Amino acid sequence: MKLDFRDLQKIDFNNLGNAPTLAKGFLITIACLVVVGLALYLFTSDQWDQLDAARKQEATKRSEFEEKQRKAANLGAYRQQMQQMQEAFKDLLRQLPKSTEVPGLVDEISYAASGSGLSSEKLEKNADVKREFYIETPIEISVKGGYHQIGEFISKVSALPRIVTIHDFTLKTSAKPGDIESSDSLTLSVVAKTYRYEAEEGK
């Protein structure tokens, strides 16, 4: 016997016992397939999630491995670069004065001012300022002279063997409007700062 799908339309779902045998078998088969499908979904959904997570983890591990492999291949270049950086850092440290050398640095700034033809009105070392990794030493400077002399002085300070930075730059003139400026009519006030590496203190 063949299943006549018209028989399915005549099925009374309130009285399935009187339905044709083939129709009942078809309905039972559909019901079994639905039950099996739901069971498979319920029992395997977590496993699919785990599989997806495992695939993502595999991609991450693969990326990490490739990055480590790349670094390993360039290990020699990295070591050489690190050595160059350490040498550069040592060179910078040699340009930072130690605490016992700061008075000498103040003298060098004074010599730079007098050698440029400036008269020093103020040259005073202020209290040290402790930062996270270094110590900052401000030096207040006030000199008097002409444009070219001040320019020469700034050039000499920037050429000092120790690292010195210039801050709070002010330039005033004592000449009145209409007056002919004299060679010492300008007053330069700055704060020069030098630095010491804290780890080097006491060595």
Confidence of residue 1 (pLDDT cuts 50, 70, 90): very low
Reading the block at residue 58, the tokens are 């595999």
* Cα end-to-end distance, the chain, whole Å: 106
Q: What is the per-residue pLDDT across 150-193, written as a single tens digit (0 to 9) for each?
A: 999 999 988 888 778 888 889 888 766 555 555 567 899 999 88
pLDDT above 70 (res 17): no
Distance CA(1)–CA(24), nearest Å, equals: 14
Flag whether pLDDT at 14 surpasses 80: no
Taking the alpha carbons of 153, 155, 159, 162 in that order, is the dihedral positive or negative? positive
Measured CA distances, 86 to 18, 91, 107 (Å):
94, 9, 31
Checking if the pLDDT of 195 tops 50, the result is yes
Q: Which residue has the tokens 């590496």?
A: 197
Render pLDDT for 125-156 as a digit per residue (tens, 0 to 9). Answer: 889 888 877 888 899 999 999 889 999 999 99
Q: Express each pLDDT in 92-112 by its tens digit.
A: 666 666 766 778 888 899 999
Both tokens of 178, joined, read 């209409």
